[in-house]
Protein backbone atom coordinates (compact mmCIF):
# COMPACT_ATOMS: atom_id res chain seq x y z
CA UNK A 1 0.00 0.00 0.00
CA UNK A 2 1.40 3.38 -1.01
CA UNK A 3 0.02 6.83 -0.26
CA UNK A 4 0.94 9.81 -2.41
CA UNK A 5 -0.01 13.37 -1.76
CA UNK A 6 0.02 16.13 0.84
CA UNK A 7 1.83 14.61 3.82
CA UNK A 8 -0.07 11.36 3.65
CA UNK A 9 0.29 8.87 6.50
CA UNK A 10 -1.11 5.34 6.26
CA UNK A 11 -2.05 4.33 9.78
CA UNK A 12 -3.54 0.88 9.31
CA UNK A 13 -4.27 -1.68 6.58
CA UNK A 14 -6.57 -4.54 7.46
CA UNK A 15 -7.81 -7.40 5.31
CA UNK A 16 -11.06 -9.17 6.01
CA UNK A 17 -13.40 -11.55 4.26
CA UNK A 18 -16.41 -9.95 2.62
CA UNK A 19 -19.75 -11.29 3.75
CA UNK A 20 -21.16 -13.72 1.24
CA UNK A 21 -24.33 -12.94 -0.62
CA UNK A 22 -27.54 -14.31 0.80
CA UNK A 23 -28.42 -17.75 -0.50
CA UNK A 24 -30.93 -17.49 -3.32
CA UNK A 25 -33.57 -20.20 -3.15
CA UNK A 26 -35.77 -19.24 -6.07
CA UNK A 27 -35.77 -17.35 -9.33
CA UNK A 28 -38.27 -16.07 -11.86
CA UNK A 29 -37.66 -19.20 -13.94
CA UNK A 30 -38.34 -21.49 -10.98
CA UNK A 31 -41.50 -19.57 -10.08
CA UNK A 32 -42.71 -19.86 -13.69
CA UNK A 33 -41.93 -23.60 -13.79
CA UNK A 34 -43.77 -24.17 -10.50
CA UNK A 35 -46.79 -22.28 -11.87
CA UNK A 36 -46.62 -24.33 -15.09
CA UNK A 37 -46.35 -27.55 -13.08
CA UNK A 38 -49.40 -26.64 -11.00
CA UNK A 39 -51.43 -25.92 -14.16
CA UNK A 40 -50.33 -29.22 -15.70
CA UNK A 41 -51.22 -31.14 -12.53
CA UNK A 42 -54.68 -29.54 -12.52
CA UNK A 43 -55.19 -30.44 -16.20
CA UNK A 44 -54.09 -34.02 -15.48
CA UNK A 45 -56.54 -34.19 -12.59
CA UNK A 46 -59.36 -33.02 -14.88
CA UNK A 47 -58.44 -35.62 -17.51
CA UNK A 48 -58.44 -38.39 -14.92
CA UNK A 49 -61.85 -37.25 -13.67
CA UNK A 50 -63.11 -37.21 -17.25
CA UNK A 51 -61.88 -40.77 -17.78
CA UNK A 52 -63.57 -41.84 -14.55
CA UNK A 53 -66.80 -40.14 -15.64
CA UNK A 54 -66.62 -41.89 -19.01
CA UNK A 55 -66.21 -45.26 -17.28
CA UNK A 56 -69.06 -44.42 -14.93
CA UNK A 57 -71.30 -43.43 -17.85
CA UNK A 58 -70.61 -46.71 -19.64
CA UNK A 59 -71.36 -48.72 -16.54
CA UNK A 60 -74.75 -47.01 -16.12
CA UNK A 61 -75.97 -47.97 -19.57
CA UNK A 62 -78.43 -50.82 -19.68
CA UNK A 63 -80.53 -52.56 -22.29
CA UNK A 64 -83.60 -50.49 -21.43
CA UNK A 65 -81.89 -47.26 -22.62
CA UNK A 66 -79.75 -48.46 -25.53
CA UNK A 67 -81.12 -50.22 -28.56
CA UNK A 68 -78.89 -53.09 -29.71
CA UNK A 69 -78.46 -51.49 -33.13
CA UNK A 70 -77.07 -48.34 -31.42
CA UNK A 71 -74.67 -50.22 -29.16
CA UNK A 72 -71.87 -50.09 -31.80
CA UNK A 73 -72.12 -46.31 -32.00
CA UNK A 74 -72.07 -46.00 -28.21
CA UNK A 75 -68.96 -48.18 -28.00
CA UNK A 76 -67.25 -46.27 -30.85
CA UNK A 77 -67.98 -43.01 -29.04
CA UNK A 78 -66.60 -44.48 -25.81
CA UNK A 79 -63.42 -45.69 -27.56
CA UNK A 80 -62.89 -42.39 -29.40
CA UNK A 81 -63.42 -40.26 -26.30
CA UNK A 82 -61.30 -42.59 -24.18
CA UNK A 83 -58.47 -42.52 -26.73
CA UNK A 84 -58.45 -38.71 -26.80
CA UNK A 85 -58.37 -38.56 -23.00
CA UNK A 86 -55.70 -41.27 -22.76
CA UNK A 87 -53.50 -39.35 -25.21
CA UNK A 88 -54.00 -36.16 -23.24
CA UNK A 89 -53.06 -37.91 -19.97
CA UNK A 90 -49.88 -39.29 -21.55
CA UNK A 91 -48.94 -35.85 -22.91
CA UNK A 92 -49.56 -34.20 -19.54
CA UNK A 93 -47.52 -36.84 -17.70
CA UNK A 94 -44.66 -36.30 -20.15
CA UNK A 95 -44.92 -32.53 -19.64
CA UNK A 96 -44.77 -32.99 -15.85
CA UNK A 97 -41.57 -35.05 -16.18
CA UNK A 98 -40.01 -32.37 -18.40
CA UNK A 99 -40.97 -29.63 -15.94
CA UNK A 100 -39.47 -31.61 -13.06
CA UNK A 101 -36.23 -32.01 -15.03
CA UNK A 102 -36.16 -28.27 -15.79
CA UNK A 103 -36.77 -27.48 -12.12
CA UNK A 104 -33.89 -29.75 -11.15
CA UNK A 105 -31.56 -27.94 -13.57
CA UNK A 106 -32.66 -24.50 -12.35
CA UNK A 107 -32.27 -25.45 -8.69
CA UNK A 108 -28.81 -26.86 -9.43
CA UNK A 109 -27.86 -23.50 -10.96
CA UNK A 110 -28.85 -21.76 -7.74
CA UNK A 111 -27.04 -24.18 -5.47
CA UNK A 112 -23.77 -24.22 -7.41
CA UNK A 113 -21.21 -21.65 -6.29
CA UNK A 114 -20.79 -19.01 -8.97
CA UNK A 115 -18.31 -16.94 -7.04
CA UNK A 116 -14.57 -17.41 -6.62
CA UNK A 117 -14.00 -17.53 -2.85
CA UNK A 118 -10.46 -16.24 -3.36
CA UNK A 119 -11.90 -12.92 -4.49
CA UNK A 120 -13.93 -12.16 -1.40
CA UNK A 121 -11.29 -10.11 0.42
CA UNK A 122 -11.81 -6.52 1.56
CA UNK A 123 -9.04 -4.05 2.35
CA UNK A 124 -9.74 -1.37 4.97
CA UNK A 125 -7.20 1.45 4.96
CA UNK A 126 -6.90 4.22 7.56
CA UNK A 127 -5.25 7.32 6.11
CA UNK A 128 -4.28 10.61 7.78
CA UNK A 129 -3.20 13.78 6.02
CA UNK A 130 -1.76 16.87 7.70
CA UNK A 131 -3.35 19.29 5.24
CA UNK A 132 -6.34 19.27 2.97
CA UNK A 133 -5.51 18.24 -0.54
CA UNK A 134 -5.62 15.53 -3.11
CA UNK A 135 -4.41 12.09 -2.04
CA UNK A 136 -3.65 9.17 -4.30
CA UNK A 137 -3.67 5.63 -2.96
CA UNK A 138 -1.96 2.76 -4.75
CA UNK A 139 -3.03 -0.72 -3.75
CA UNK A 140 -0.78 -3.50 -4.95
CA UNK A 141 -2.17 -6.98 -4.55
CA UNK A 142 -1.48 -10.48 -5.71
CA UNK A 143 -3.41 -13.69 -6.06
CA UNK A 144 -2.93 -17.30 -7.03
CA UNK A 145 -4.02 -18.61 -10.41
CA UNK A 146 -7.12 -20.82 -10.46
CA UNK A 147 -5.00 -23.95 -10.42
CA UNK A 148 -2.82 -22.62 -7.58
CA UNK A 149 0.38 -22.88 -9.61
CA UNK A 150 1.43 -19.22 -9.97
CA UNK A 151 1.19 -16.12 -7.79
CA UNK A 152 0.47 -12.99 -9.82
CA UNK A 153 0.62 -9.28 -9.02
Q: What is the pLDDT of residues 38-84, one digit of tens each?
A: 999 999 999 999 999 999 988 887 777 777 788 888 889 999 999 99
Q: How far apart are the first and last CA of the chain?
A: 13
> In a 10 Å sphere around its CB, with 0-12 CB exposed, 13-18 middle and 19+ buried, how is residue 33 labelled?
buried
Q: Which pLDDT belongs to residue 152?
A: 57
| Partners of 13 in the β-ladder | 125
Q: What is the pLDDT of residues 128-138, one digit of tens each?
A: 777 777 777 77
Mean pLDDT for the chain overall: 82
- Phi/psi for 21 (5° steps) reads -65, 150
Nearest 10 degrees: Cα torsion 114, 116, 121, 122? -40
Amino acid sequence: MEGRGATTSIQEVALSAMPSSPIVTTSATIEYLLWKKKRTEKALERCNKSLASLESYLSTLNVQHVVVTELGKVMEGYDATGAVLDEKVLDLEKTLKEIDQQLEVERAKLSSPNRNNGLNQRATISVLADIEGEVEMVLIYGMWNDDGSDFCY
